[in-house]
Structures are given as C-alpha cells and as structure tokens.
Amino acid sequence: MQSKFLDVFLESLNKFGNLYGPTYKNKVLSYDRLANISDLVLTDEHPMIPIKKLFHPMKFTMLHFNEMGFTPDYSTIEKRVILGVHPCEIHSLLILDSVFMREPMDPYYAQLRQNSAIIGFSCLPTENSLCFSTDTDIVEEGFDLFFVNLGEYFLVWVGSSLGHDMIYEREEFFDKNVTHDDIQEYVEWRQKKNKMFKKSFEFDSMPDIMELSYESEIWEEFAKICLSCGQCSMVCPTCNCYSVTDVFDVTNEQIGRRDRNWDSCMYVDYSLVAGGHNFRASRGNRLKLWYGHKLKTFGKDYGRPGCVGCGRCVDSCPVDINVLTISEALTTKEVPEK
C-alpha cells in the first residue's frame, strides 16, 4: 500500500470499532481512544505504559454487589481497532493470553481481546530496545494486519480473517503483486534494522544462569538499592499481577463494587498472609521472583520467559535495576556502576 493512502485507510477502520492507538496525552505517549486519525502518533518510541492497559486495565470494576449478590460489570468492553502496535507489544499480548485465556478464562480480558482488532506497525530500534535479544522483533501471529514501513509504501501482512475483511473493504488501496524489488527492499530493511540495536543481552542463557544464581550475593546488592516502588511492574508489558478491593457506595452499606487494580510483587505486602507471615519479606526475594518470571520461567504451562525486550525497565527504573543490569551482573558477578 502506498503511504499516501495510510490515513484514509486507517480512518476507514472505524467501521470495525472505535479507534485506539498511541497518542500524546499531557505530552506523554499513551495508548488511548483517538478522536481523530490525526491524533495517532506512529513512532519508534513506545508509549510509557504498555498495551496491557487496554486489556488488563489499571483499574476497573469486576462485579457490583447488593443484597441480592454479585453481578458482573462488562462496561469496559467495546469493539475496538487498536492501531500502531509494535511487535514486542504483540508478543506481550500473546504471553498475557496464556495467563488470562487459560481455563478458567478471565471473562474481562477474554472479551476485551475478542472485541479488539490489532493493527501492528513495524518500528526501528530505539536507545534501549532489546527485542533482537529476546527474539520478539518480528511477529508471525497475534495481529489482524501488520504494516511494515518501507518508506514509499507499506508492506501489509494479513494475519486474520478480520484483517482480510478490512483489506477487502478498501481493495483499491492495495497492490497484490509483490515484486522482486519489494522483497529486496524488505530484506534490506530487516538487515538495516538488525544492525541498529545498541544494546543486547544473553536472553537465551538466562534461564540457566538464573537457576544457578539463586543463592548469588548479587541479589543482595540489588536489594540494597531497590526502592520497591513497583514502577518496573507498571511499565512491564507482561506484568499481570493484580489485587482486588471491595468498595461500598458512599451512601450505602449494602451496595458497592469489587474492583481490580494493578499490583506489583515488588510491594512488601505482596505475599503477606493473614496472621502476619510474609513469604517474601525480603526485597532480594521479591527481585528474584520478578526477574525469575521475566528471564527464567513464566508459569508452568506458559512456555517462554516473560521478557519481550521492550526496554521500558531500562528507561524507567530510578536506580537502574533492569533486565540488562541484572543479566550482566549475574553473568559477570559484578553489579554495574551507575
């Protein structure tokens, strides 16, 4: 598809649902509802908060209750078309699927997922991109359409029946013939992209290194500087932990709601049980759990570790604890100087 058709085509997708995508909100790039297609920001930068927020909202009401019992609240669910989704974000959704769509399915996540189309967009590595290391720089599934930006035109991959319908709506924009030159250009784009990564880490050997380093004093070094602020969990696309809170309506002691909100295993009370026993009172143990999930194993049946190499923990952590510094320290046995 020629680049000049992009906006018209993307706008036409509102037929399939409300348009969402990265947009500036108080100068912060954020996934949000797009009032106009001109609000969409297609850039190599990631939104600060990952796409999980559209499927596993930061805070929402799961159930309402009254004297009669509990009733589910599905008001967050609507038909959506989410534009401008980078490969690592698509990978993160596939990982979250394995948690939330596993039986018994989470009906909130599942319905948000089933009612949302994913229109992926290629990106080029930024300062802290690690997706080449984590093998999440390319997507093969998890999108309805995927646009690779080759300058003059986009190479558009069709990933689902819905994606096919979308193309079919505006057939005139698309050229079905892929020439040798197009292929050559795509190959060159990939080669150029692969050379642009500034940072890398040994993702593939991390599960073994993590296993062998459980007793390493390195964890204590990091524990000394960790603030337990939980920012890493908020910005990590595959952190899915949440807490649940009941709230009464202001005027009533019978009626209220049960809310779900993001939680982090970095918080001290994360593993605290009634009676006061805390299974993970030490910061070092909480760091081990977090990095275990990202770099070693993520659920018995979930396959790969959780890190998708987006680099947000590298961008965000105020004391430089991230997948890079952790993997480097465990490999070299030296905590990197700030």
Partner 1 sequence: MTLIETVENPFKPKAARIVRHYDLIKDHRFFQIRHIDMAKAMSFSYNPGQFIMLSIPGVGECPFSISSTPSRPGILELGVRRVGKLTESLFQKRDNEVVYIRGPYGNGFKLDKMVDKDLIIVAGGLGVIPLRSILYYALDNRDQFKRVFFLYGARTPNEFLFKTEFFQLKNRKDIECLYTVDKSDAEWPHATGVVTKLFKNLPEIDPSETTAVVVGPPVMYKFVIDEFLKLKIPKNLIQLSLERRMKCGIGKCGHCAIEHLYTCMDGPVFTYWDTLHFRELI
104 binds partner 1 (CB under 8 A): yes
Grouping H, G, I as helix, E, B as strand and the rest as coil, residue 31 is strand
Q: Alpha-carbon distance 317 to 323, whole Å?
A: 10
Q: Which of 88, 206, 298, 311: binder of partner 1 (CB under 8 A)?
A: 298
* Cα separation values, 237 from 49, 96, 241, Å: 8, 9, 11
Quick one: which of 323, 322, 320, 324 has its CA closest to 338? 320
Of the candidate spans 42-50, 136-144, 170-178, 251-259, the one that interacts with partner 1 by CB under 8 A turns out to be 251-259
Which of 46, 86, 283, 296 touches partner 1 by CB under 8 A? Answer: 296
Count how many Cα atoms sit within 13 Å of the Cα of residue 281 in the half-sphere of its side chain: 4
158 near 145, Cβ under 8 Å? yes
Interaction residues for partner 1, span 262-281 (CB under 8 A): 263, 265, 270-275, 277, 279-280
Please identify, using beta-carbon distances, which residue of 10 and 326 lies nearer to partner 1: 326
Options 100, 143, 147, 291; binder of partner 1; rule CB under 8 A: 100
| Residue 115: both structure tokens together | 């009612």
CA distance 137 to 87: 6
Instruction: State the DSSP code for 63.
Output: E
> Near partner 1 by CB under 8 A, which window of 25-33, 69-77, 162-170, 315-323?
69-77
Given 176, 180, 300, 338, the residue binding partner 1 (CB under 8 A): 300
Regarding 209 and contact with partner 1 (CB under 8 A), the answer is no
Residue 250 found at the interface with partner 1 (CB under 8 A): no
> Counting contacts by CB under 8 A, is residue 161 touching partner 1?
no
Q: Are the beta carbons of 136 and 197 closer than 8 angstroms?
A: no
What's the min distance (Å) between Cβ of 299 and partner 1? 6
Q: Which residue has the tokens 């990939």?
A: 190
Region from 28-36, 183-191, 289-297, 311-319 binding partner 1, contact rule CB under 8 A: 289-297
Compare residues 127 and 269 and give the one whose CB is closer to partner 1.
Answer: 269
Query: Could you tell me if 160 and 144 are in contact, meaning their C-beta atoms sit under 8 angstroms apart?
Result: yes
303 contributes a contact to partner 1 by CB under 8 A:
no
In this chain, which of 70, 127, 141, 184 binds partner 1, going by CB under 8 A? 70
Binding of partner 1 by 299 (CB under 8 A) = yes
Left if phi > 0, otherwise alpha if psi is -120 to 50, otherwise beta: which for 243?
beta
The CA-based angle 97-79-92, given to 5 degrees, is 25
Binding of partner 1 by 162 (CB under 8 A): no
State the Cα–Cα distance between residues 325 and 145, nearest whole angstrom. Answer: 35
Choice from 127, 243, 333, 334 touching partner 1 (CB under 8 A): 243
Q: Which of 26, 253, 337, 338 touches partner 1 (CB under 8 A)?
A: 253
Say how far apart CA 161 and CA 149 lie, in whole Å.
22
Nearer to partner 1, 111 or 160 (CB): 111
> In angstroms, what CA-CA distances link 208 with 20, 263, 296, 328, 338?
40, 28, 8, 14, 26
Residues that bind partner 1 (CB under 8 A): 62-63, 65-66, 69-72, 74-75, 77-78, 99-100, 102, 104-107, 110-111, 214, 240-248, 253-254, 256, 258, 263, 265, 270-275, 277, 279-280, 285, 288-289, 292-293, 296-300, 302
